Chains A and B, each alone.
Chain A
Amino acid sequence: MLTFSKRTRFLSKDPTTIGLYLAAFLFMLVFFLWPLGTMVAASVEGPSGPSFAYYVDFLSRKLLVNSFWNSLMMAVISTASATVVGFLFAYAMTRVDMPGKRFFKGIVILQLISLPFTVGLSFIMLFGRRGLITYGLLGRPFEIYGWHGLWMVQTLTFFPLAYLVLVGVLKSIDPALEYAARNLGARDTHVFKDVVLPLSIPGVASAALLVAMNVLGDFGNPALIAGDFTVIATEAYMQIVGWGNFRMAAVLCNILFLPVFILFIAQKYWVSRKVYVTVTGAPTQLGIRKTGRLVKWFLFSFCLIVSSVIVLIYASIGLGGFVRTWGMDYSFTTQHLDYVIFQGIPAIENALIFSLTSGLACAILGVLDAYIIFRKRMLGRQLLDFISTLPAAVPGFILGIGYILSFNTPPLILTATPYIIILNNIARDLPTGFQAGMAGIQQIDVSIEEASVNLGAGTFQTLRNVALPLLKSALGAGFIYSFIKCMTTVSAVIFLITPKWNLPSPIILGLASEGYWGQAAALSAILLTIVVGTLLVCRAVAGKRIPLFEV
């Protein structure tokens, strides 16, 4: 450990590090911590000093208290189901030799980059009161709205997140361990029960916590499909849009933030430390073991069914843009497309500009942030690490509401400007760039930078000549991931957009909740085409140099 005086002595000789360090702190302070703080302050502000009147009011309103329990309940059941689906998918992709893996992986990636409420939107079109399948094919009205509908939607929406974590975990379990168990006389079921499962438990916990945070914070799907089953996210929105009651909205945000924060702490500091590092002498080159036929075909059918539903989801969205009135009149029309071209293009242009800007900023800030955190032994680096990863856990609508509360008044008025959207995007997606940067830095041997310093280069020159060139692919990955996220983000920006600075995803959500399926579907299809196209082009151009969704 360096003593304080040694650290400061060291700092005074490294202006680059201290500059980057202060800049990173300042940015997160102003554009992340301040909005969160303002929200807490707003919830306890009374006419004469701090007051908990709004919290008392909250407790007295059954509907609101219920929405809190509903949020928790939905998080528990969706997390369980999404984690199971994610695990089965991940196990199938890493441990089973089955056909169609590329297709299944493609489906997962599609879900990961899609609009966050795609499933909700298409479920209404497929299984709603006038749904193509329920009403059209089966001829019976079905009530999709409610907790059961939301549960299915959240499971399909978030299982890819669990999958992403679990694939990493399962890949890191050396197949040699399974051969060893087998060699010692264990049957397949025992190999799974005694080796694979125990080794992946921390990963499963990690995946579950991640899914839970996302379900708690999700706004789009509940807004569309929850019906009378109210959750905190939609209630907070209603408090602002319906009643103009910012203080109650702040109370709701704070109440939801507490469980999310606990999950975040658990994930970052507890579960992630328990992940086993497999200790092996030399890496084995053993392929995956042959799975029993029964297991193989069960998993294959399972993946096929889930993937078929997802294909159906995207088909309905693609189709929905071209039929006159979904549920009533399925004749071909281009009228929705005309609307989209007229109304949606400016919003898409905005989205492109905002996403390019914030994507670039996230990539650069994230990589620099990761660099100073992982390469410089500075006082407070754990704190910076913490506040650089926390935004990923904070539900979008909470930060969105924090932004309107903070930047509506001096000293910094940003409302109704494009900057508020861009800055919000950057603050929210910084963890994406940070993750990419971290992954990149862990690939570079420290001694390569030390060699540069040893030869006479200072921090700035080492960063410019050695570290950044070697982090090119991390920068690329950070940019593409945050670009995609910004293109489809909805819950935070829904509070920040204006008619002039509008964005496609809030427009789609608005259209869908008003029942304009055709227009919503058409605009979704265009947005998805852009996002998928971007990813495909980047993958084709960058090839292996930038690892994108290697799932």
Chain B
Amino acid sequence: MKEAVSLNEATKKFGSVTAVDHATFAVEDQSFTVLLGPSGCGKTTLLRSIAGFYDLDEGQILIKGRDVTNVPPHKRNTGMVFQNYALFPHMKVFDNIAYGLRFRQFPKAEAEQRVRKVAGMLGIEHLLTRFPAQLSGGEQQRVAVARALVIEPEVLLLDEPLSNLDAKVRVHVRVELKKIQQQLGITAIHVTHDQEEALAIGDKIVVMNKGQVIQIGTPTEIYFKPKARFVADFIGTINLLKATVVKTTAKEVLLSVGPEMVLSASTDPEVALSDGQDATLSIRPESIEISSEKPTREGNVLHGEVKDTIFMGAVTRYFVQTGDLELIADVQGSDVPLKGSVYVSVDSSKLHILPELE
């Protein structure tokens, strides 16, 4: 694996607050990596440190193998797309895009050619003679991306660039962003607090909280196999059940979640467990099935009672009481929601064990 950006114990403090706390991870070349976390988790600070706007207090940053920890921001060759786009209001779109080329000694003709090429790619050729104030939010965003791409940066840094767009445009633009990144084969680091966006766009997601990197993984890993309660909680809705390990085998783990309620989960080689240990079981609502008849499958079936239902469009959300537990289950379709006594079941591969118990 080639690494485009590596962080080694990167730490940034503001006074007594540690904004980024010993972050260590590598961003693969040509990958789309998302820094995800709640506001104040240090994701933007980390991104800005990579760009060079903050000096680290400890640790190192390497871009394409070069130690840039002490390199001033204008010599790092990172292209950044700012949250508010930060277009130069006194320059036309063309000059905005061409700005970075001024410092890279391009002959005029070549610079113009490059600007036109990148503008063509983003579909903004017709805007080149306009001023930023005459553009819509989506158009401004494209100009900002074009301006960052035209310098052929070692890494493209995206600081919540979609947060100022309408919900519909946002979904459209993020698909486009990813497409461009893949087309050009460049490395992108994208900061967002929107978990749906992160799952949709990232090759890798770095989940951060309170300055620390909590988990790094692919979207499915992050979603279905959270390693910490924070990750499970932060991303989507999840059922977290207190459990005690009853028995572990090479294939499955049996856990007790209540009196006479034993569930089996597939063994995760990364999570070491011993019998009698307390653990937290996580189940996504859409992994739970509900039926009025007892399902034919063996194991992982609990009997319960529907307490409430919420119609949410594509799915119906059930709140089911089983023993002392309240489970949330999302069921697709169901025109007439089930009521009263039901059976809930879940595939053992959809059960995930968090070794910690909070």
Contact = CB atoms under 8 A, between A and B. Distances in A.
- The finding on whether chains A and B are genuine partners in a shared complex, rather than unrelated, reads yes
Nearest to B144: A451
B323 interface: no
Contacts of B355: none
B55 A448 contact: no
A279 interface: no
Contacts of A37: none
Interface in B81-132: 82-84, 86-90, 99-100, 102-104
Nearest to A9: B70
Interface string A1-17: 11100100110011000
Contact of B55 (A10, A450, A466, A469): A10
B77 interface: yes
Given A447-B84, A469-B90, A470-B89, A457 B103 contact: yes
A14 B72 contact: yes
A465 B74 contact: no
Interface residues of A, number: 25
Interface string B11-53: 0011100000000000000000000000000000000000111
A455 B90 contact: no
Nearest to B54: A2
B211 interface: no
Given A447-B84, A465-B99, A454 B55 contact: no
A514 B51 CA distance: 68
A168 interface: no
Contacts of B57: 3
Contact of A453 (B74, B84, B104): B74
A253 B78 CA distance: 56
B147 interface: yes
Max chain B Cβ within 10 angstroms of own Cβ: one of A13, A452, A455, A457: A455
B73 interface: yes
B99 A447 contact: no
Interface of A: 1-3, 6, 9-10, 13-14, 445, 447-448, 450-458, 461, 465-466, 469-470
A147 B77 CA distance: 68
Nearest to A461: B103
Interface string B51-84: 1110101000000000000101111011110111
Nearest to B78: A454
Contact of A455 (B55, B83, B84, B147): B147
Nearest to B157: A454
B15 A455 contact: no
Contacts of B82: 447, 450-451
Contacts of B72: 10, 13-14, 453, 458
22 contacts: A445-B84, A447-B82, A447-B83, A448-B87, A450-B51, A450-B53, A451-B88, A452-B88, A453-B52, A453-B73, A454-B51, A454-B74, A454-B80, A455-B74, A455-B103, A456-B74, A456-B75, A456-B100, A456-B103, A456-B104, A456-B151, A461-B102
A448 B96 CA distance: 11
Max chain A Cβ within 10 angstroms of own Cβ: one of B57, B73, B79: B73
Considering the complex of A and B, which 3 residue pairs feature the smallest CB-CB distances, nearest first? A455-B100, A456-B103, A447-B86
Given A447-B86, A448-B86, 8 more contacts: A450-B53, A454-B80, A455-B74, A455-B147, A455-B151, A456-B77, A457-B99, A461-B102
